[in-house]
A and B are shown apart, each in its own frame.
Chain A
Amino acid sequence: AQSVTQLGSHVSVSEGALVLLRCNYSSSVPPYLFWYVQYPNQGLQLLLKYTSAATLVKGINGFEAEFKKSETSFHLTKPSAHMSDAAEYFCAVRSNDYKLSFGAGTTVTVRA
């Protein structure tokens, strides 16, 4: 079985401030973990993925995430928020060859 919990359905940050989005996973096997971003009326775009190599993963648009097995976490961060980061973010886990299991999502708003 595999599942993801995203803590906080909405996050509001000031432009230039740290963005931190929390994700905890459950998986019966070593997981592959993903963060996706979804802009309004669009599909999902992959930000970054963890596939059992380096535990600190760097993605696009300045985002990075750290896999912590002891905490079963895969939190997403960006040091300095930009207005264009306003979107919905989904954490997902893939424990087998088939499906991705997504969290409920976190909506990020960026204040000027």
Chain B
Amino acid sequence: DAGVTQSPTHLIKTRGQQVTLRCSPKSGHDTVSWYQQALGQGPQFIFQYYEEEERQRGNFPDRFSGHQFPNYSSELNVNALLLGDSALYLCASSPGTGRNNEQFFGPGTRLTVL
């Protein structure tokens, strides 16, 4: 079992650009959540996808959008990048949305905005 995988590992962009991050969930998992972890802080919830729909969204602007594919993999898109978007972006998968279902985290994508 490969666990949760994310690509790319690292990414450097400039202000105003757009970026797409990818996540493949753990085998058997159908729910994907995205978190942003700024340096020295705890992860902050961006949104969760289940059955190809956004189920809940955290306090993030519309520049952050996502998608879930029929195979349960997911993408996070960020438009009009700001310096403050520099962070580690974590994807977590779980077998359903119930709060008893453990979220398994991937290694993250380190985004640097210059």
Contact = CB atoms under 8 A, between A and B. Distances in A.
A99 B44 CA distance: 9
A99 B45 CA distance: 6
Contacts of A98: 33, 45, 48, 55-56, 97, 99
Size band of the A side of the interface? 20 to 34
A49 B104 CA distance: 13
Contact count band on B: 20 to 34
Contacts of B55: 98
Interface in A86-104: 90, 92, 94-104
Contacts of A90: 42-43
Nearest to A105: B42
A98 B55 CA distance: 8
Given A43-B106, A43-B108, A99-B56, A32 B43 contact: no
A51 interface: yes
Interface of A: 4, 32, 36, 41-46, 49, 51, 90, 92, 94-105
**Leading 7 A-B pairs by shortest Cβ distance:** A102-B42, A99-B45, A98-B56, A43-B105, A44-B105, A43-B107, A97-B97
Interface of B: 4, 33, 35, 40-45, 48, 55-56, 58, 90, 92, 97-100, 102-108
14 contacts: A43-B106, A43-B107, A44-B92, A96-B56, A98-B45, A99-B48, A99-B56, A100-B35, A100-B92, A100-B103, A102-B44, A104-B41, A105-B40, A105-B42
